[in-house]
Chains A and B, each alone.
Chain A
Amino acid sequence: MMTAFPMNRSIVCVLLLASGALLAQHEYTATDIENGGRQYVNNCVYCHGPEGDQIAGVSLFQGRFKRAVSDDDIVQIIRNGVPGTGMPAQTGMNEANARTIVAYLRSAAAVPASTLTGGNAARGKSLFEGKGACATCHRVQGSGSRMGPDLSDIGMQRRAVELEKSLLDPGAGVLPQHRFVQVTPKSGPAVTGRLLNQDTFTLQLIDSQERLRTFVIADLRDYSVLKDSRMPSYKDKLSRQELADMVSYLVSLKGPNKP
């Protein structure tokens, strides 16, 4: 008895997309890249810098390395270090995590550097707090709203080009932990907030008044996790110079000094 199942069209599409998105020598998922970005910030950024170019002769995001050629070379160097140099062995890092860093580097290499140069960080700060009204959602070193992501060390976490992209097209890449949720209780007005957690029966959010709130899903008329960004695009709101100033300010946000 031969039994054939109809092939799910959406699965076929995913496969084609996956094979079309070949990066360097390995294929990496968006999750790999995201995880790798976090690993990079935690383990690499203090020496290599957010642009990956703080070590002479090395430009990680341009694919310029002193010794590594292949992805496997990079993994090996991350884990074992380079004896006699300042590159320490990440002895506690497993291969899978090291490989996510490679995913992040390869992904970043595919994005050209920001063209918004010549910005002034002080002017950017004024824009952030004034015309841009960024502090109505974002917090920097203790002031501003907790509704959106805290940007106190965003300059350590994101490259200038990524910050530029976020300002111009904020909906392009919302991380899962920055998703908003809209809930409509059976009684009372709808509430929008940043999703903090959810399970089968409840969800937790921080609302626009910075209240930590839990909703019982059975008591809701409706709720949806919003994939788009709540942040407006600044493409037509700020001039090119103002955008450069803003990026310059954001790049300057390095968080508290760390040892």
Chain B
Amino acid sequence: MKRFVLLVVSIASLSAQVTFDRILNAGKEPQNWLTYSGGTSSQRHSTLTQITPDNVKNLELQWIFQSRSLERYEATPLVVDGVMYTVQNPDDVLALDAATGRVYWTYNYQLSPDARPCCGRLSRGLAILGDTLFIGTIDAHVVALDAKSGKPLWNAQVGDPEKGYAITHAPLIVKDKVIVGMAGGEYGIRGYILGLDAKTGKEAWRFYTIPGPGEPGHESWAGDSWQHGGASVWVTGSYDPESNLTFWGIGNPGPDWNGDTRGGDNLYACSVVALDADTGKLKWYYQFSPHDEFDYDAVQVPVLADIDWQGRPRKVMMWANRNGLFYVLDRTTGQFLSGKPFVKVNWMNGFDERGRPMKLASAASSKTGTLIFPGNQGGTNWYSPSFSPHTGLFYIPAWDNYSSLYVKQDQDFVEGRTFGGGGPRPTGPATKTGVQNFRGDEDIYGAVRAIDPKTGEKKWEFKMADVTEAGILTTASDVLFTGGHEGYFFALDARNGKLLWKSSLGGEVRSGPMTFMVNGRQYVAVDAGNSLFVWALRQ
């Protein structure tokens, strides 16, 4: 009789819905990957330990899903109880058997011809709550799907694609809400973040990333520039249940490369905002790059952890920013704790007592061109970092020795057209897809940098000949997975950066790896080129 009860419980848990409680406690079911970053604190760290530094060399390719899209694949799949959910660019959704890759169902999204995302017709992933999947689309809809059948449950238009509004990131679930933000920073949008009712798609709250008249921060925009100031959102945020705050990184102000018409700090562009998850009200913010002219979007995943800070436990947020600096903030109050360059930086030379960067007078876009480190793609970018509570290290996909010449031009706003105000110019050999690499030692390069968050010091690095747009996954067995432009997917020892295993996939790795377990076997998955690759230990 006891055995029968156990069996029933087992079946029930297999078919259980993904409650928000499960999402909050995602670390307790490491066989699953329930959010874009693996949990609401976004550490992209798994407690699975079957794959170790000793046996990772025995990884064997299990299956490949070749998407029917030539667009680059930047998504991280979800896995729930043996079923994988992922996207096919731009906005199709698939359910696959996570162990074999066989497709259960496909949802083909009918995209509006008005969609005009600046930088790729793609989606970075999904969210799940209950039996419902959620995708934000590049024509600015949020669609809810039945996770068992792929049938749409509701479809809410939340932005105007003709004006450049789009969604490219995986939504975040907090309690009964689906949270999404608007991309479109190159089109002169006025960015916002929405909390939608997960059952209906109805808007529960809206936070404008550029304050309107009468709101604090509005004065940080000269004249009417706030109306077209960008401040987009295109990478998934995080959530802290203790403070009930949801954290989102905000993109660059527009026009991107010419700040003349938008005098002031341009809040909350290039900032992290902490919002009350029930109301969307701003609790605090920290601006990494005031009055940015270098495209330093703060579109990084906010990584939350409780660490020992100067002798006492502290609830922090760790952030490797596109502007080349690694930050530690108090995530409850937003207090600046530390900031330090992790790559070559020449636009600032320190912080004042409030944590505001001391920007050099020379660090301004100009009509003749200004040489700035890091360059336009940043010291890092949207690529997911990882924090391992096991090593205590923060891992950054970094670009170093990298600069751009920033040239500004006058540009008037025209609705639905790009609104850049100039552009960056390359200063070194190309970093584009598919070119042969002739670089020398002094040229730009990519690296995995392991940083001790307590000091901001580099503990080790793994240098790559080419740059990287791959996210990083760590596991509790101290294996680190990542890749790069060269098309390798590889494993490093998270303690010292030693190469443990590699596989050449033939396509650039531009996604964050994830791991899961089915029937007692640990798998690791990553997108490269336009395919999804899945490995497990040889049996």
Q: Is the CB of A15 within 8 A of B426?
A: no
Q: Which of B339, B358, B369 contacts A27 (CB 8 A)?
A: B369
- Assess A3 versus B350: contact at CB under 8 Å? Given A15-B362, A200-B464: yes
Q: Is the CB of B465 within 8 A of A25?
A: no
Q: Which of B353, B423, B441, B464 contacts A1 (CB 8 A)?
A: B353
Collect the chain B residues with CB atoms within 8 Å of residue A41's CB.
Answer: none
> Would you call B484 an interface residue if the criterion is a C-beta within 8 Å of the partner chain's C-beta atoms?
yes
Q: Of all chain B residues, which has the CB nearest A29?
A: B427
B430 CB, nearest partner CB in chain A, Å: 8
Q: Is the CB of A177 within 8 A of B350?
A: no
B5 CB, nearest partner CB in chain A, Å: 53
> Would you call B206 an interface residue if the criterion is a C-beta within 8 Å of the partner chain's C-beta atoms?
no
B354 CB, nearest partner CB in chain A, Å: 9
17 extra interface residue pairs, beta carbon distance < 8 Å, beyond A1-B355, A96-B425, A200-B466: A5-B340, A11-B344, A18-B369, A26-B407, A27-B369, A27-B405, A29-B427, A31-B427, A176-B429, A176-B439, A177-B436, A195-B438, A198-B465, A199-B437, A199-B464, A201-B488, A225-B441
Sample (18) of A-B pairs whose CB atoms are under 8 Å apart: A3-B350, A5-B349, A7-B349, A8-B346, A14-B371, A18-B405, A22-B368, A25-B368, A27-B369, A27-B407, A29-B426, A32-B405, A96-B425, A197-B437, A199-B437, A199-B464, A199-B466, A200-B486
Bound CA–CA A15/B403 (angstroms): 11
Q: Name A residues whose Cβ lies closer than 8 Å to a Cβ of B.
A: 1-5, 7-8, 11, 14-15, 18, 22, 25-32, 35, 95-96, 99, 176-177, 179, 195-201, 224-225, 227
Q: Of all chain A residues, which has the CB nearest B348?
A: A5
Q: Of all chain B residues, which has the CB nearest A199?
A: B486
Q: Is the CB of B438 within 8 A of A179?
A: yes
Q: Of all chain B residues, which has the CB nearest A179?
A: B438
Q: Of all chain B residues, which has the CB nearest A23?
A: B368
Q: Is the CB of A5 within 8 A of B426?
A: no
Can you list the 10 inter-chain pairs with the closest CB atoms, starting with the nearest?
A: A4-B350, A27-B369, A176-B438, A197-B436, A199-B486, A11-B346, A18-B371, A225-B440, A27-B368, A31-B426
Bound CA–CA A95/B436 (angstroms): 25
Collect the chain A residues with CB atoms within 8 Å of residue B436's CB.
Answer: 177, 196-197
Q: Is the CB of A26 within 8 A of B369?
A: yes
Q: Name B residues whose Cβ lies closer than 8 Å to a Cβ of A.
A: 338-341, 344-346, 348-353, 355, 358, 362, 367-371, 373, 403, 405, 407, 423, 425-430, 436-441, 463-466, 484, 486, 488, 502
Collect the chain A residues with CB atoms within 8 Å of residue B463's CB.
Answer: 200
Collect the chain A residues with CB atoms within 8 Å of residue B486's CB.
Answer: 199-200
A13 CB, nearest partner CB in chain B, Å: 11
Q: Of all chain A residues, which has the CB nearest B420?
A: A95
Collect the chain B residues with CB atoms within 8 Å of residue A177's CB.
Answer: 436, 438
Bound CA–CA A18/B406 (angstroms): 12
Q: Of all chain B residues, which has the CB nearest A224?
A: B441
- Assess A2 versus B427: contact at CB under 8 Å? Given A11-B373, A14-B371, A15-B362: no
Q: Is the CB of B425 within 8 A of A32?
A: yes
Q: Of all chain B residues, which has the CB nearest A11?
A: B346
A209 CB, nearest partner CB in chain B, Å: 21
Bound CA–CA A32/B404 (angstroms): 11
Collect the chain B residues with CB atoms within 8 Å of residue A199's CB.
Answer: 437, 464-466, 486, 488
Bound CA–CA A96/B484 (angstroms): 26
Bound CA–CA A170/B530 (angstroms): 43
Q: Which of A8, A26, A196 contacts B368 (CB 8 A)?
A: A26
Q: Is the CB of B367 within 8 A of A26?
A: yes
Instruction: From A8, A31, A176, A225, name the one whose CB has the most chain B CB atoms within 10 angstroms.
Output: A176
Collect the chain B residues with CB atoms within 8 Å of residue A35's CB.
Answer: 426
Bound CA–CA A200/B504 (angstroms): 11
Q: Is the CB of A200 within 8 A of B428?
A: no
Collect the chain B residues with CB atoms within 8 Å of residue A27's CB.
Answer: 368-369, 405, 407
A35 CB, nearest partner CB in chain B, Å: 8
Q: Of all chain B residues, which has the CB nearest A94?
A: B423
Q: Is the CB of B425 within 8 A of A2?
A: no
Bound CA–CA A4/B350 (angstroms): 4
Bound CA–CA A171/B439 (angstroms): 17
Q: Is the CB of B407 within 8 A of A15?
A: no
Bound CA–CA A176/B437 (angstroms): 9
Collect the chain B residues with CB atoms within 8 Å of residue A179's CB.
Answer: 438, 440
Bound CA–CA A225/B441 (angstroms): 8
Collect the chain B residues with CB atoms within 8 Å of residue A26's CB.
Answer: 367-369, 407
Bound CA–CA A18/B98 (angstroms): 53
Bound CA–CA A95/B407 (angstroms): 12
Q: Of all chain A residues, which has the CB nearest B325?
A: A5
Collect the chain B residues with CB atoms within 8 Å of residue A18's CB.
Answer: 369-371, 405
A21 CB, nearest partner CB in chain B, Å: 10
Bound CA–CA A28/B429 (angstroms): 14
Collect the chain B residues with CB atoms within 8 Å of residue A7's CB.
Answer: 346, 349
Q: Is the CB of B349 within 8 A of A2?
A: no
Q: Which of A2, A30, A195, A225 contacts B351 (CB 8 A)?
A: A2
Q: Of all chain B residues, which has the CB nearest A1?
A: B353
Instruction: From B339, B340, B348, B439, name the one whose CB has the most chain A CB atoms within 10 angstroms.
Output: B439
Bound CA–CA A195/B182 (angstroms): 44
Collect the chain A residues with CB atoms within 8 Å of residue B368's CB.
Answer: 22, 25-27
Q: Which of B341, B350, B423, B430 contacts A2 (CB 8 A)?
A: B350
Collect the chain B residues with CB atoms within 8 Å of residue A2's CB.
Answer: 350-353
Collect the chain A residues with CB atoms within 8 Å of residue B426's CB.
Answer: 29, 31-32, 35
Q: Is the CB of A28 within 8 A of B425?
A: yes
Collect the chain B residues with CB atoms within 8 Å of residue A8's CB.
Answer: 344, 346
Collect the chain B residues with CB atoms within 8 Å of residue A197's CB.
Answer: 436-438
B349 CB, nearest partner CB in chain A, Å: 5
Q: Of all chain A residues, which has the CB nearest B404?
A: A29
A72 CB, nearest partner CB in chain B, Å: 8
A205 CB, nearest partner CB in chain B, Å: 11
Collect the chain A residues with CB atoms within 8 Å of residue B440's CB.
Answer: 176, 179, 225, 227
B325 CB, nearest partner CB in chain A, Å: 10
B363 CB, nearest partner CB in chain A, Å: 10
Q: Of all chain B residues, which has the CB nearest A17?
A: B371
Collect the chain B residues with CB atoms within 8 Å of residue A200's CB.
Answer: 463-466, 484, 486, 488
Collect the chain B residues with CB atoms within 8 Å of residue A196's CB.
Answer: 436
Instruction: From B430, B440, B441, name the one whose CB has the most chain A CB atoms within 10 angstroms.
Output: B440
Collect the chain B residues with CB atoms within 8 Å of residue A224's CB.
Answer: 441
Collect the chain A residues with CB atoms within 8 Å of residue B405's CB.
Answer: 18, 27-29, 32
Q: Is the CB of B437 within 8 A of A198?
A: yes
Q: Of all chain A residues, which has the CB nearest B371?
A: A18
Q: Is the CB of B441 within 8 A of A3?
A: no
Collect the chain A residues with CB atoms within 8 Å of residue B358's CB.
Answer: 4
Q: Is the CB of A5 within 8 A of B429?
A: no
Q: Of all chain B residues, which has the CB nearest A177?
A: B438
Bound CA–CA A201/B502 (angstroms): 10
Collect the chain A residues with CB atoms within 8 Å of residue B425's CB.
Answer: 28-29, 31-32, 96, 99
Q: Which of B341, B428, B465 contacts A5 (CB 8 A)?
A: B341
